[in-house]
């Protein structure tokens, strides 16, 4: 229902634990099996009092995670992909733009259950600030050219700010401009307090 980056509580200790417990063992497994994988490897991770836990792998960019990560990327995505294919990624620097990015999903009423209505007219996208990104997830054009809904996760709006608080405020103000019948959004993206009881040291 939304995503944001960077994550304030993902400090050096948290990232080191994720690398030690999840990423490094995965890479060693790929090497041991002589599996020459080149592409996106998505780690779905949950932080717990016992440390980071792996929920899933995906060999694609996550959604809506990609909608906030890619705008924050200051390096050329094409150059990074080419470096990956050529085996030069370790010699490449990945640069990130300053500030924070927040994305909020505009969903159809009734989602994620089945049976929600489709073909509902969407208005307000032309009122968005030029810096706001609108990613179309489940939209289509009618024969008359009208933009309508075509699924559950209709749009993702992404806004940038100097910090997380500013980005959160901007994306929700932008979301108020877009309308379709039954539209709903989760109101707390980027606003939840830091998780409690997270591990305090790398084992």
Average pLDDT, the chain: 92
Confidence of residue 203 (pLDDT cuts 50, 70, 90): very low
User: How far is 18 from 51, CA to CA, in rounded Å?
Assistant: 8
In the Cβ-directed half-sphere of 99, how many Cα atoms lie within 13 Å? 16
Residue 203's Cβ-count burial label (10 Å; 0-12, 13-18, 19+) is exposed
Preceding peptide of 58 cis, ω within 30°? no
Contacts of 158 (CB under 8 A, 6+ apart): 67, 68, 71, 101, 102, 103, 132, 133, 134, 135, 171
Residue 202 has pLDDT above 50, yes or no: no
- Whole-structure pTM value: 0.89
Question: How confident is the model over 17-40, as pLDDT tens digits?
Answer: 999 999 999 999 999 999 999 999
- Chain length of the chain: 203
Displacement of CA 137 from its chain's centroid (Å): 13
Q: Could you tell me the two tokens for 101?
A: 């990015």
pLDDT of residue 192: 74
Residue 55 has pLDDT above 70, yes or no: yes
């Amino acid at each position: 229902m939304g995503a944001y980056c960077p994550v304030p509580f993902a400090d050096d200790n948290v990232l080191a634990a994720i690398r030690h417990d999840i990423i490094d063992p995965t890479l060693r497994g790929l090497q041991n099996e002589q599996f020459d994988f080149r592409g996106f490897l998505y780690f779905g991770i949950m932080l717990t009092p016992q440390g980071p836990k792996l929920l899933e792998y995906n060999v694609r960019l996550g959604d809506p995670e990609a909608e906030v990560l890619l705008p924050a990327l200051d390096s050329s995505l094409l150059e990074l992909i080419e470096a990956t294919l050529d085996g030069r990624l370790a010699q490449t620097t990945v640069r990130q733009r300053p500030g924070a990015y927040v994305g909020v999903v505009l969903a159809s009423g009734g989602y994620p259950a089945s049976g929600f209505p489709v073909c509902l007219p969407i208005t307000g996208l032309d009122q968005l600030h030029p810096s706001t990104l609108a990613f179309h997830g489940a939209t289509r054009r009618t024969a008359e050219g009208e933009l309508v809904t075509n699924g559950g996760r209709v749009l993702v709006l992404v806004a940038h700010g100097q910090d997380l608080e500013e980005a959160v405020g901007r994306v929700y103000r932008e979301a108020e401009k877009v309308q379709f019948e039954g539209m709903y959004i989760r109101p707390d993206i980027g606003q939840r307090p830091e998780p409690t009881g997270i591990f305090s040291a790398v084992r």
